Amino acid sequence: MGMGRSGTARGRVVLLGTMLWVLSGFVSPAGVVHGAVYSGTVAAERGAAVNVMKAGQAGIVQKESKGQWSQPAAADPVPQIISRVSPSVVGIIGKAGGETGGPDDRYNLTHGSGIIVRADGWIITNAHVMAGLEKAVVVTSDGTSYNITDTYSDEFSDLALVKIKAKALKPATFAGSAANLQVGEKVIAIGTPISFSLRNSATVGVISGLNRSVDAAYRLIQSDTAINPGNSGGPLVNMKGEVLGVNSMKFAAVGVENMGFSIPADTVKYIMNQLLQYGEVRRPSLGVELEESWPVIVGLPGQEPLTVTKVLTAEARKAGITAGDALYAIDGHRVTSLVDVNELFRQYKPGAVVKLLMQSDGDIVARSLVLGQGDPLVSAAKTEEETDDQTTE
């Protein structure tokens, strides 16, 4: 949780005699002319025709061939996007907690990355970046250091919101719903890998997968951007310069390469709004423990229901739910995994009433349940299975 150009030949631009803005310089084999802009009269040569597409700082002249106009190579937008987004990315560094003092204690530091979300000093990062971090300092892209005054963490989403005393910071722009993302879409990861001196490093890749359930309470975005220790909390950015997600973890094992995961922007905004409003995340809860089916646990497709393994609250017992019951749907939404429930419950608040489609003692029944407040559902089986090969960054 990495970033070509062909040879050229000297030549002359030709056009029937007229006064136009054209380019001087060199002509590529494709007929595209590069160089400085000047105003002048251009003569005809060998009957070739050229089209002056645009005059200005970087005009382009194209050569016609058999009625077909060649297309100029588009400028790579990546450098401009990195330049535009980097002022919204910070480094976070502090002393690793729980360590005793010593002669080299001043080097016992740990760091991560963060994203400015409000001009007045609010920054989103990962909860694991802030966990146990002492005397933490935020460093912005211009090299200014700020002490952290407030920290609000949510370990289940692995997100934390921190506050510094600053004004006129540049907040990042977050993308809308992850529903519009596509596998293969080009993305950029920005952060502080390995060394704090490498702040605002950028790597480029593509989205490798969507809706991944990887030891997390919510679905994640998978990408092949190079993500290393210290990148945690930094942004995954699209070609519009929008933050698609917060880089959080990757698989790290022998033979495993470029498998990073990011928390989607819509989940980030949900958690961030709750932390800003309450200082905590107030999630609705079914008041039961649920177990996923074997196909879901191992990643096979299937529509098997969730199984109730334990009833925890009076509201759930009042609704008639008992251990062994099977849960098929909530308010008409089919749920087959714990992440399905957590994702759905971003739309609800504690105290809401939901309709459950369940199977009890062999009968399909509908139950009405008042949602309580509690932690999200997390699969213990998946956690144990993936811990060995997955690491936060």
- The residues that are catalytic are 128, 158, 232
Count the neighbouring beta carbons within 10 Å of the beta carbon of residue 253: 11
CA–CA separation, 138 vs 67, rounded Å?
A: 58
CA-wise closest residue to 237 among 86, 112, 393, 391: 86
Give strand pairing partners of 26: 34
| Angstrom distance (rounded) from CA 149 to CA 354 | 40
Q: Which of 53, 18, 21 is nearest to 37 (CA)?
A: 21
From residue 238, give the alpha-carbon distance in Å to each of 78, 181, 293.
9, 10, 35
Q: Helices marked H in 279-322 — which ranges?
A: 294-298, 314-318
For residue 95, what are the contacts with CB-CB under 8 A and spacing of at least 6?
105, 108, 109, 110, 133, 134, 135
Contact 158, 126 (CB under 8 A): yes
d(CA 153, CA 131): 8
96 in Cβ contact with 105 (< 8 Å): no
- If you ran DSSP here, which 8-state letter would residue 87 be given? G
Residues facing residue 222 across a β-bridge: 209, 261
